[in-house]
């Protein structure tokens, strides 16, 4: 009883959300994952598992135990290559023979600017990235995956992560970490891209889903309102950053300390990454520029409107 696994919260049984849709909460609660990662099962005979979650033998056992007589896991779909979503993909594939489907490896889907920043080595991201992740099959935007009684459309929605996919099923969308109800998403360059995040949120809103099933937290029953709130929040944050830069150059870390005054200390590094994402986005719009190689400690100055 002294193993790390035995000290983790117990995995939970599958919860039925709708006909053909179940959810299992992974035992990985944290300030960044809320109560844990949501693993979804879609189907009545063939089962698609969306985001098997962190590498946890207990969670793997819970997923396998959710397979009822006459069912089989036929597909494993990954929203993005963060360890809390994708790390269990290979053990689950080994146990079931099901292929792993995703947009691509952990570095796929980055914008040209983020590729340049990553290649330069001055910008340090990579928080929780599943660097070993490789899918068996890559899904392009708009690809449709089918099982015996379901079909799922892959939507490439970079922003939180370059290889991020949302999955449209019936009149709902499994939104991964792009849109969640409990928190705003971390956008951490070079894996995260604020320009892409805003565009992906608008695309999701245009689909007008009835419900969003996020990677963490409860279902979002009013997607339009939630996405509008997220877009307004990011727009307001951009305006606050520009206002602060009007007083003089400042770094992402300095701006985060000023703008996120009520944020717990444990979340301040993430807040600084979000600010850095805004600063890089503002640089692409010619509204700011770095005074050196972009990074959390690099000062940025505001440019004329």
Domains of the chain by residue range: 4-222
d(CA 104, CA 137): 8
Q: How confident is the model over 135-186, as pLDDT tens digits?
A: 999 999 999 999 999 999 999 999 999 999 999 999 999 999 999 999 999 9
Would you say 159 and 197 are in contact if contact means Cβ atoms under 8 Å apart?
A: yes
Interval 24-39 mean pLDDT = 95
Residue 146: partners with Cβ closer than 8 Å, 6 or more residues away:
152
Please state, as a whole number, how many other Cβ atoms lie within 10 Å of the Cβ of residue 292.
11
| 62-67 mean pLDDT | 97
- Per-residue pLDDT tens for 274-300? 999 999 999 999 999 999 988 878 999
Alpha carbons 86 and 26: distance in angstroms, whole number: 12
Of 185, 122, 146, the C-alpha closest to 42 is 146
Predicted structure pTM score:
0.94
Judge whether 186 and 160 are in contact, CB under 8 Å.
Answer: yes
Strands 46-50 and 72-77: parallel
Distance CA 169, CA 151 (A): 7
Looking at the chain, list the stretches that DSSP marks H as alpha helix, in order from N- to C-terminal side.
4-7, 57-65, 83-86, 89-96, 112-120, 194-207, 223-245, 252-259, 268-284
Q: What is the mean pLDDT of residues 31-39?
A: 95
Phi-psi region of 135 (alpha: psi -120 to 50; beta: other; left: phi over 0): beta
DSSP 210: S
Between 256 and 120, name the one with better pLDDT: 256
Q: pLDDT digit string (tens) for 20-29?
A: 999 999 999 9
Question: The domain 4-222 belongs to what CATH superfamily?
Answer: Ribonuclease Z/Hydroxyacylglutathione hydrolase-like (3.60.15.10)
Which residues are CB-neighbours of 226 under 8 A, at least 6 positions away? 179, 181, 212, 220
Helix (H, G, I), strand (E, B) or coil at 272: helix
pLDDT at 19: 96
């Amino acid at each position: 009883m002294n193993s790390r696994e035995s000290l983790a919260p117990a995995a939970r049984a599958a919860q039925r959300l709708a006909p053909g849709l179940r959810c299992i909460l992974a035992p990985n609660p944290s300030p960044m994952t809320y109560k844990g990662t949501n693993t979804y099962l879609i189907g009545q005979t063939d089962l698609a598992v969306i985001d098997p979650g962190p590498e946890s033998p207990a969670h793997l056992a819970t997923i396998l135990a959710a397979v009822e007589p006459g069912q089989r896991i036929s597909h494993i779909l990954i929203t993005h290559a963060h360890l809390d979503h994708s790390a269990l993909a290979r053990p689950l594939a080994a146990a079931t023979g099901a292929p792993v489907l995703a947009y691509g490896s952990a570095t796929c889907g980055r914008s040209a600017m983020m590729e340049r920043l990553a290649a330069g080595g001055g910008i340090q991201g990579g928080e929780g990235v599943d660097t070993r992740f490789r899918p068996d099959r890559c899904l392009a935007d708009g690809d449709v995956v089918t099982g015996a009684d379901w079909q799922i459309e892959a939507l490439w929605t970079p922003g939180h992560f370059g290889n991020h996919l949302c999955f449209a099923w019936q009149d709902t969308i499994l939104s991964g970490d792009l849109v969640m109800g409990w928190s705003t998403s971390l956008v951490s360059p070079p894996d995260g891209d604020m320009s892409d995040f805003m565009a992906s949120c608008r695309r999701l809103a245009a689909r007008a889903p009835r419900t969003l099933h996020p990677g963490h937290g409860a279902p979002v029953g009013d997607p339009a309102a939630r996405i509008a709130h997220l877009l307004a929040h990011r727009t307001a944050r951009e305006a606050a950053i520009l206002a602060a830069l009007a007083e003089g150059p400042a770094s992402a870390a300095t701006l985060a300390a000023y703008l996120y005054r009520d944020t717990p200390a444990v979340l301040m590094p993430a807040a600084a990454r979000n600010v850095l994402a805004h600063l890089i986005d503002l640089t692409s719009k010619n509204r700011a520029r770095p005074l050196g190689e972009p990074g959390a400690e690099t000062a940025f100055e505001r440019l004329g409107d």
